[in-house]
Structure 1
Amino acid sequence: MARRFEIGDHVSWNSEAGRVSGTIIAVHRRDFDYKGHTHHASDEEPQYEIKSDKTDHVAAHKGSALDHA
């Protein structure tokens, strides 16, 4: 079963710069455009927008890339 997260959850993930943590600010359950790319999402496999704790950068990831921080 896929990992499920909610808005406000504090999570971490691996990036090119190492381990990053942030807070989920949106949950997508339908395909959406983000930074010029279409991200695929569904009820079964949502994607999450996460705001980084340190840089305020916003990233989009599937639940399989995230861990509760």
Structure 2
Amino acid sequence: MAKKKLSKGDDVVWRSHGQDVEGTVTGKIEQRTQRDGRTVDASENEPQYEVRSDKTGRKAVHRPESLDRKKNRGRS
């Protein structure tokens, strides 16, 4: 299965606490690091993405399989 390729600025949606959350990719993480007191076990082969919620402005880190590109409704 092909891995999702996301870029900074992509509009995405993910599930959190049983609800869809819309937001924007703010960066790609390709090495083990700390974010908000948690260890992000990312690598070049298994990257993770930092996203910002449109509603709250809070940031989170997710694996690419947890994120879907948001469909542009009403646009050609």
Given the two structures, how large is their TM-score scaled by the length of structure 1?
0.92
4+ runs of 1 displaced by more than 2 Å?
none
Partner in structure 1 of residue 57 of structure 2: 56
Report the Cα distance in structure 2 between the residues aligned to 1:58 and 1:17, rounded to whole angstroms: 18
The structure that is strand-richer by fraction is 1
- Does 2:27 correspond to 1:26? yes
Which string of whole-angstrom CA distances, capped at 9 and with x for unpartnered residues, describes residues 12-52 of structure 1? 00001500010011110001101111111111221111010
Local SS of the residue matching 2:49: strand
Report the Cα distance in structure 2 between the residues aligned to 1:10 and 1:53, rounded to whole angstroms: 10
Report the Cα distance in structure 2 between the residues aligned to 1:51 and 1:59, rounded to whole angstroms: 7
Partner in structure 1 of residue 36 of structure 2: 35
Q: Between the two proteins, what is the percent identity of the paired residues?
A: 36
Whichever of the two has the greater Rg, that structure is 2
In the alignment, residue 46 of structure 1 is paired with which amino acid? P
Given the two structures, how large is their TM-score scaled by the length of structure 2?
0.85
In the alignment, residue 64 of structure 2 is paired with which amino acid? G
Local SS of the residue matching 1:64: helix
The 5 A counterparts of 1:1-12 are 1-12=2-13
